[in-house]
Amino acid sequence: MMHRKKRSDGKNQSLETIVAGNGDMGFVREVAKRSGTDLSACFHCRCCAGGCPFIEAMDYAPHGVIRLAQLGMRDEVLQSATIWTCVGCHTCSIACPMAVDMAAVMDALRQIAIESDAAIAEPDVLDFHREVLRSIERYGRTHKLEIMMRYKVKTRDWFTDMDVGLRMLAKRKLDLMPSRVRNTKDLKRMFRENAEGGTP
Amino acid sequence: MSRSKRIPLSYFPGCSMATTAKENNRSLIEFCERIGYDMIEVQDWNCCGSSSAHSVDAELAEDLATRNLTLAPEGRPLLAACPNCMLRLRGAQRHLAEDPEAQKRCEARWGRPVDPDLKLIHFFDLLAGADMKGLNKTSPGLKGMKFVPYYGCMLARPPAMRHEPNHHGLIEKILSDLGAEPRRWGYGARCCGTFLSVVRPDVVGAMVDAIFRNAAAAGADCLVTACAMCHMNLEVRSTLQNRISVLHFSEALALATGKGEDRDWFSRHLVDPRPMLRSARLIA
Ligand code: SF4
Ligand code: SF4
């Protein structure tokens, strides 16, 4: 199943004229700073796109995301599906002649998208990440069964994977009880302080 | 190895190995103990954040990693076998060394310093120096097992780490030193999909099936994986009826260097590797 998103006004994105200089240059600097990557290093050779295992499930190719970011097209890039589909596997980085840290750029874009309440193109991905973090907050470690159950509740998709879950239970791959950190006080405090935006 | 020469290591299992992949954990500990290391689990370690923390919150991801670093006792190397945990630990260690602010944050957060000389060792670093040929003379070996190595994204890394040692080919080298036969194929460095396995099972399922088909076409009896998450995604996502089994690298190593019977590991696999191991006469 392809997963390409149409723009809400039905226009074909690739045929639009982009006026260089209309971009949000503060945003370009912000992405560069957070990712520790000079976006202008990318000259669009597309080696990254050639190696990315999940390009089929993306709306923009990985270097397309870099292009949008270079041009300061803030909304377009923050609302793209690609930033959520990218798993940060670094496959593209070993192919990139310019040492662009694609995974770091994607991390930065996701974080800016969350902080600025951008429309999230792949809400299920974010839901999943949030469930993982919630589990770490509770137990200090991930409790896979609970993460899966809660993710299912959120996405209201009970039946995909029912068989997989049962087979994993039968093989003792999903523990009923979590493996946990004994003293989670310091972790809970960390989550609280980070949520409040403070440094320790 | 004589008793006096045993080397103590702090050991960080990580969530996957502590839970879904206990067979990976147990066989790894068994193997490391056998080749002369004492494995001492880090007290009260926490999750490294998996693929999620760094995706949505950079500070949280760093804090999770630094907490683990502060828990490692001074003067003893810290071993991890999960490539992702290792990447997180190394990233945080590098950041602490480069940025005094990060160091201050860490100390204020956890009230403990990180040993500045803490040595981080991935399981593969440990193996790179090990003499398997010598070991093979005294152990049952893996003669008759045809396999393809599966590294997933473990050989790829961010540009900042590109000068660190890369263990390309190590699974093939070590296992062939132990008598197994590697087969050539082109899918050994395909990412397993990590969290997309949950969110987009359609995408990951198709890819995983292609991996199994190519492994079988290469003439392999099994895949050998380096990462517990890869192992799980390969096992749970394939939709193929008939497929070959997937062994953790550590299982293959422990099997090759010790007795293979009475192991609880193999019953935890979704595709039972025992028929394959029996027909290769590696277990009774
Ligand atoms: S491989 Fe690197 S330089 Fe080439 S298009 Fe991708 S990010 Fe840009
Ligand atoms: S890091 Fe992201 S963009 Fe790069 S290859 Fe992996 S999934 Fe594709």
Q: Where are the beta strands (DSSP E) in chain B?
A: 7-12, 37-41, 78-80, 120-122, 146-150, 181-182, 222-225, 245-248
B81-B39-B235-A140 Cα dihedral, nearest 10 degrees: -80
Is B242 domain-assigned? yes
Residue B234 CA to residue B150 CA, distance in Å, equals: 10
| Residues of A in Cβ contact (< 8 Å) with B108 | 199-200
- Nearest Cα to Cα of residue B219 among B239, B244, B240: B244
- Cα of B169 vs centre of ligand 2, distance in Å, is 22
Confidence of residue B4 (pLDDT cuts 50, 70, 90): low
Residue B48 CA to residue B81 CA, distance in Å, equals: 13
Chain segment A124-172, per-residue pLDDT in tens: 999 999 999 998 998 888 888 887 877 777 777 766 777 777 777 777 7
Q: Closest approach of chain A CAs to the CA of B26, in angstroms?
A: 14
Comparing CB atoms, the residue among A101, A132, A199 nearest residue B158 is: A101
What mean pLDDT do residues A186-192 have?
88
Query: Does residue B272 register a pLDDT over 60?
Result: yes
End-to-end CA distance of chain A: 45
Confidence of residue A113 (pLDDT cuts 50, 70, 90): very high
Q: Which atom of ligand 2 is nearest to the CA of A87?
A: 7
Chain B interface, best mutation among A101, A173, A176, A179, by max B CB count within 10 A: A173
List the domain range (segments joined by +) for residue B257.
140-279
Q: Angle A92-B228-A54 (CA atoms, 0-180°, nearest 5)?
A: 30
pTM for the complete prediction? 0.90
Residue extents of the structural domains in chain A: 3-115, 123-191
Domain final residue pick, B123, B155, B181: B123
| A156 vs B: CB within 8 A | no
- pLDDT at residue A125, as a whole number: 93
**Domain identity same for B171 and B118:** no
Chain segment B250-263, per-residue pLDDT in tens: 999 999 988 655 67
Domain final residue pick, B123, B149, B170: B123
Q: What is the ipTM of this complex?
A: 0.91
CATH code, domain with B145: 3.40.50.11810
Comparing CB atoms, the residue among A53, A126, A168 nearest residue B207 is: A53
**Domain identity same for B275 and B145:** yes
Query: Which tokens is A7 given?
Result: 């723009």
Cβ-defined contact of B59 to A194 (cutoff 8 Å): yes
**Domain identity same for B164 and B240:** yes
Query: Which tokens is A90 given?
Result: 């670094």
**Domain identity same for B144 and B94:** no
Residue A52 CB less than 6 A away from ligand 1: no
What mean pLDDT do residues A91-114 have?
96
Q: Please name the residues in contact with B4: beta carbons below 8 A apart, sequence gap of 6 or more.
A: none
Low-confidence winner among A62-66, A113-117, A151-155, B18-22 (lowest mean pLDDT):
A151-155
Q: Identify whether the C-beta of residue A141 lies closer than 8 Å to the C-beta of residue A178.
A: yes
**Domain identity same for B174 and B101:** no
Domain final residue pick, B78, B98, B123: B123
**Domain identity same for B116 and B146:** no
Query: Which tokens is B103 given?
Result: 């160091």
- Number of structural domains, chain B? 2
Chain segment B182-222, per-residue pLDDT in tens: 999 999 999 999 999 888 989 999 999 999 999 999 999 99
Q: Closest approach of chain A CAs to the CA of B41, in angstroms?
A: 13
**Domain identity same for B166 and B224:** yes
Query: Which tokens is B196 given?
Result: 């997309």
Residue A63 CB less than 6 A away from ligand 1: yes
- Cα of B160 vs centre of ligand 1, distance in Å, is 16
Q: Identify whether the C-beta of residue B57 lies closer than 8 Å to the C-beta of residue A133.
A: yes
Query: Which tokens is B19 given?
Result: 């839970």
Is B68 domain-assigned? yes
Is B129 domain-assigned? no
Beta strands across the sheet bearing B120-122:
B37-41, B7-12, B78-80, B120-122
Does domain A3-115 correspond to CATH entry 2.60.120?
no
Residue A83 CB less than 6 A away from ligand 1: no
Q: Which residues pair with B148 in a beta bridge?
A: B223
